[in-house]
Amino acid sequence: MRVLGIETSCDETGIAIYDEERGIVAHQLYSQVKLHADYGGVVPELASRDHVRKTIPLIDAALKEAGCSKEDINGIAYTAGPGLMGALLVGATIGRSLAFAWGKPAVAVHHMEGHLLAPMLEERVPAFPFIALLVSGGHTLLVRVDGIGAYQILGESIDDAAGEAFDKTAKLMGLDYPGGPRLARLAAAGTSGRFVFPRPMTDRPGLDFSFSGLKTFAANTIAAEGSDEQTRADIAHAFQQAVVDTLAIKCRRALQQTGLTRLVVAGGVSANQSLRAQLAELMASLGGEVFYPRPEYCTDNGAMIAYAGLQRLKAGVFESLSVTARPRWPLDELVPVV
């Protein structure tokens, strides 16, 4: 089976073709970073308009890259949520319409399920069950995964997601959009120990997260300490370490509570090198394994949507002719694939 994947949930247009026997045979990605940079964040209407301009040309490019035609495609998968409503509707409408025109089945894919399954695109894949840490600009989740679609939410952020906290703190420090990766680079020049940030919600039971307070703590620290380059680097270092420590503490707690020894980490923040290093140490200490997607599959992309869609199409899941998009869509509402 060969599936065309369409991802348009936010500010990246991702198109990919996944072949069940050969893996990813085409991968096209267009980022809107330059479009939104002047505004310091994503402007939903501009994002939607750019998806309209880019999606069809990228589909054509993907077909050419894979050396195939519409007749060689067995199904179309598109992101239906969660995300920006207008952006989602672009990909969902194009995906469903193409499927109708080509006489192919279509399937709506949950964006976070795509991230969760992204490590399955690698040669070394985790066996079920495992714990998944999903960390991105919009979500921070700890999930017990017993199979595709068999998800139990163990913990989530009650306010800002980890990636959102990175971006907001970076903006406070005067860093350009997208701020998270720039803050991480600045943190590499920071000095450990000069500033100590709290590790929120780690002193109480449970697996939920809260990162909005760290942003406030950073704002107060910046106001009190000034903004010379080394001070900014030291603050960035302290902030990043607080987020990384918090994520690692909650991962350890989830693994110990469930007795599982495999950890999957996915989403944009999973590319953070400090986080990867600390979680590698954690899993080594527990005698377990940690799995990541490669960097280009950490951020939003069509490959993860094509793969997730293929799993559901194989199980006989497909959409009616109606086009739906869900800006909010709890992950544990998905139906298990059997």
226 marked among binding-site residues: no
CB 165 within 8 A of CB 137: no
Q: Is 249 helix (H, G, I), strand (E, B) or coil?
A: helix
100 touches 280 (CB < 8 A): no
> Annotation-wise, does 274 bind a ligand?
no
- Nearest to 256, CA basis, from 111, 128, 144, 106: 144
Confirm or deny that 111 is annotated as ligand binding.
yes
38 marked as binding residue: no
135 is in an annotated binding site: yes
Does residue 111 contact residue 117 with C-beta atoms inside 8 Å?
A: no
The answer to the question of whether 300 is labelled as a binding residue is yes
Residue 214 makes CB contacts below 8 A (sequence gap 6+) with 165, 169, 197, 198, 200, 239, 242, 243
The answer to the question of whether 31 is labelled as a binding residue is no
Q: In 10 A of CB 93, how many CB atoms?
A: 16
Does 174 belong to an annotated binding site? Answer: no
Q: Which are the contacts of 27, defined by CB distance < 8 A and separation ≥ 6?
A: 15, 16, 62, 65, 296, 301, 302, 303
Which residues touch 69 (CB under 8 Å, ≥6 apart)? Answer: 63
Alpha carbon distance 154, 332 (integer Å): 10
Q: Which residues are annotated as a binding site for Fe cation?
A: 111, 115, 300
Q: Which residues are annotated as a binding site?
A: 111, 115, 134-138, 167, 180, 272, 300
Q: Which residues are annotated as a binding site for substrate?
A: 134-138, 167, 180, 272
